[in-house]
A and B are shown apart, each in its own frame.
Chain A
Amino acid sequence: MIHRQTLSQLAAALRARKVSSVELVRTYLARIEASQPALNAFVSITAEHALAAAEAADRALAAGRGGPLEGVPIGHKDLFCTAGVRTTCGSRMLENFVSPYDATVVTRLRAAGAVMLGKLNMDEFAMGSSNETSHFGPVRNPWNTALVPGGSSGGSAAAVAARLLPAATATDTGGSIRQPAAFCGITGIKPTYGRVSRYGMIAFASSLDQGGVLAASAEDAAWLLREMAGFDPRDSTSVDAPVPDYPAGLDAPLAGMKIGLLKEFFDTGLDPQYERCVREALAVFERLGATLCEVSLPNISLSVPVYYVVAPAECSSNLARYDGVRFGHRCADARDLQDLYKRSRSEGFGAEVKRRIMTGTYVLSAGYYDAYYLKAQRARRLISAEFARAFGEVDLLMGPTTPTVAFALGAKTADPITMYLNDIYTIGANLAGLPAMSIPCGFAAGLPAGLQIIGPHFAEQRLLQAAHRYQLETDWHVRLPEQYA
């Protein structure tokens, strides 16, 4: 069964010429087509492009050439710009936008030989935690289609969970990789801020956005991240630091590793069955030779309010570029320039995006800047400093990824705050720019639960190693929803 193979196994099979890229692409395209009515994971399916790229990959492999991912099918979240293939960001605003250039992540993965099968559905402009704000309709959770897959990278997560793809790119501003990874029972990594180039990644909140991976295992995530990470002169926040060979470091033992349990994450609102899964996972790390201790971050409860000042402020600024003039949706019959701006934006953006733009506009407006924006930036430093202190004591921090398993479509759409609080455990890592993962750690009421692992800046290697060693001991990450098994 091709779809039960991991990405690293597929890469090896391709190299050994046991399977062709065209065969893989056809297999996954058939799965994608069959799933689309139920899951709606894709905004665009690029079958022709994919088959042409697969044929080229097969020729390269036959000639003994090709990159480490030569011929491997992947998908991109529809906010990574792809030249010649529309990039919608889940919005009516960009429904017909065809980028003139590729995102650096897209360029790098293509250079490594990966073949893109399509663009994945997402919350509009990555603003959402349930994938219900997409202009192209909600994505549904492969474990139960009455439930959300999480967001904003809901399409990427659902596609990998149903093995419509071995892996996909995603982005995380406040939890948009980790929360859907937890809800869909897969592995996700948000690297350190600056580790993966943001060039060609449509901006939401520039001091928080970071590209990463959703995959079936930590090993597969390591394979993709090795190709995606690294300095890019086109992103002024890209960090110029060498990229370790992530797959090579996976097998190192965990003996002596110090793991801190995030006390506050267990205190409030955590579902008891979910907590049991997380605690059992922590016991596995103990058996693997790690030592556990409790760590307190007293100001972590401020992270959601800080985020809902900083992210909307940056969003209102970033999304000011959609003016109906240079690209994106334009209204019909504008009376004057003001009318053109206002109606193009009001028609092009959905309700959640408007709420965030307006929140950001409010907190940045005269008289409120100090009380909200500056105050939030100060509180952000408090949170960041607490993490830094914690990493003086421990090597990694662990806790749940989300307070509950996946919720029903429509359950949290009436009140934005209820939706925002779903990211209570994930936002801290974004505010502090830290690398963080979510890995499957069991089932609560029959649905996947996620263990979150947070590390110090640029400790992706350590996160992946811990996750991989855990996955060698457990089989949660290989369980598939019945219908897609």
Chain B
Amino acid sequence: MALTREQVENIAHLARLELEAAEIPQFQQNLSRIVDFIGELERADTAGVAPMAHPLPGLTQRLRPDAVTERDEHELYQRNAPQVASGLYLVPKVIE
């Protein structure tokens, strides 16, 4: 299935990516190839087969007791942030 330019632009928007106009045809072509390729799954007879989310059969994710186990280390973690003030992450103005 060939994806249209608009579809590719919409997917990029949903993924919060900005593609340059010149690179869109390349993504359009590659993604169409990929969508065709995964379309092969149609031929799989999966009637009555339950979806598998965890790779180990019968196992589900463990829950831990609802207790505080970590210290507040926000200063350490915020050392990697591009912009911080008074312990807060700064972003461009959101509300006019």
User: Measuring CB to CB, which residues of chain A are less than 8 angstroms from any residue of chain B?
Assistant: 97-98, 100, 192-194, 207-208, 233, 236-237, 239, 299, 302, 304-306, 308-309, 316, 320, 323-328, 330, 334-343, 345-346, 349, 351, 354-355, 357-363, 365, 371-372, 374-382, 384, 388, 415-417, 420, 430-433, 457
Contacts and interface: CB of A to CB of B under 8 A. Distances in A.
A339 B61 contact: no
Most buried by A among B12, B23, B42, B89: B12
Interface of B: 8, 11-12, 14-19, 23, 27, 30-31, 33-35, 37-42, 44, 46, 49-57, 59, 61-62, 64, 73, 76-83, 89, 91-94
A355 B28 CA distance: 10
6 contacts: A302-B41, A305-B40, A336-B93, A346-B17, A358-B12, A380-B52
A361 B14 contact: yes
A340 B82 CA distance: 12
Contact of B46 (A97, A378, A420): A378
List of 9 A-B pairs having minimum Cβ-Cβ separation, nearest first: A433-B55, A377-B51, A378-B46, A327-B80, A330-B82, A381-B52, A342-B18, A361-B15, A341-B16
Contacts of A345: 15-18
B91 A372 contact: no
Contacts of B77: 100, 326
Nearest to A233: B64
Contacts of A306: 41
A336 B95 CA distance: 10
B77 to A, nearest CB: 6
B72 to A, nearest CB: 13
A419 to B, nearest CB: 11
A194 B82 CA distance: 34
B35 to A, nearest CB: 7
Contacts of B53: 207, 377
Given A100-B73, A309-B41, A433-B56, 4 more contacts: A355-B30, A379-B41, A388-B57, A432-B55
A169 B91 CA distance: 37
A417 B46 contact: no
Nearest to B35: A362
B81 A193 contact: no
A357 B15 CA distance: 7
A292 B18 CA distance: 54
Nearest to B56: A433
Nearest to A349: B17
Given A365-B14, A433-B56, A337 B46 contact: no
Given A316-B15, A326-B81, A342-B16, A384 B92 contact: no
A359 B56 contact: no
A351 B77 CA distance: 29
Nearest to B93: A336
Contacts of B39: 305
A343 B80 CA distance: 19
Most buried by A among B15, B27, B33, B51: B15
B17 A357 contact: yes
Given A358-B17, A384-B55, A308 B27 contact: no
B6 to A, nearest CB: 13
Nearest to B49: A378
